[in-house]
Amino acid sequence: MGKRDNRVAYMNPIAMARSRGPIQSSGPTIQDYLNRPRPTWEEVKEQLEKKKKGSKALAEFEEKMNENWKKELEKHREKLLSGSESSSKKRQRKKKEKKKSGRYSSSSSSSSDSSSSSSDSEDEDKKQGKRRKKKKNRSHKSSESSMSETESDSKDSLKKKKKSKDGTEKEKVRAKKKKSSEEREKATEKTKKKKKHKKHSKKKKKKAASSSPDSP
């Protein structure tokens, strides 16, 4: 049984396209895009200026909104001002009524008791004047004593701070000296140990040298 022949004839795609004929394109071609109508530089400038200025309808709408807002604000201000004025007037009336009532009460009481309490008031004024003088003298003395006490306390506190600082500095110096002395002692001990070790090694070498010629 022989092998089946699966070979296919080669078809040139370019030749097939030419044989089919020209293809009808549905959309615009490159030539149509290049040959499109273009605006001049002056027309472009006019369009840019129009964009910068903005639309007239939008400007008119903004003006109307601003006017409405202004009217509303004026109404609100008038309401607030009228309310504040009425409240201030009420307060003034209340104050005047209180003053009048106080005056009437004081005048009536003074007219009835003026003849009887004139001498008593003079005596009381003298006594009050003496008491005030005594209080002033006491307060002056107490303030001076308090000032002196505060100054003495501040001086004592400064002295204590200085003493504490001096003590801490001295302790630091002593600690440094102790550390340095300990380090020196350690170094001397290490050097001594090294010297002893060297002496022992030399003695061992001498013994070994002396014993070597006697050996058979």
The residue whose two tokens read 């910068």 is: 52
Q: Residues 53, 55, 59, 65: is their CA dihedral positive or negative?
A: negative
Degrees, nearest 5: CA angle 72-73-78: 100
pLDDT value, residue 215: 43
Tell whether the model's pLDDT for residue 165 goes beyond 70: yes
pLDDT of residue 1: 61
Query: Which has more confidence, 180 or 55?
Result: 180
Instruction: Work out the percent of the chain whose per-residue pLDDT is above 70.
Output: 70
In this structure, of 7-16, 45-54, 153-162, 166-175, the range with the lowest mean pLDDT score is 153-162
Pick the range with the lowest mean pLDDT from 80-84, 97-101, 133-137: 133-137
Residue 171's CB: how many other CB atoms inside 10 A? 10
Task: For residue 75, give both structure tokens.
Answer: 């109404």
CA distance 83 to 3: 113
Q: Is the pLDDT of residue 73 over 90?
A: yes
Burial of 60 (0-12, 13-18, 19+ CB in 10 A): exposed
Between 118 and 138, whose confidence is greater?
A: 138
187 torsion bin: left (phi>0), alpha (psi -120 to 50), beta (else): alpha
Task: Report d(CA 72, CA 55) in Å as an integer.
Answer: 27
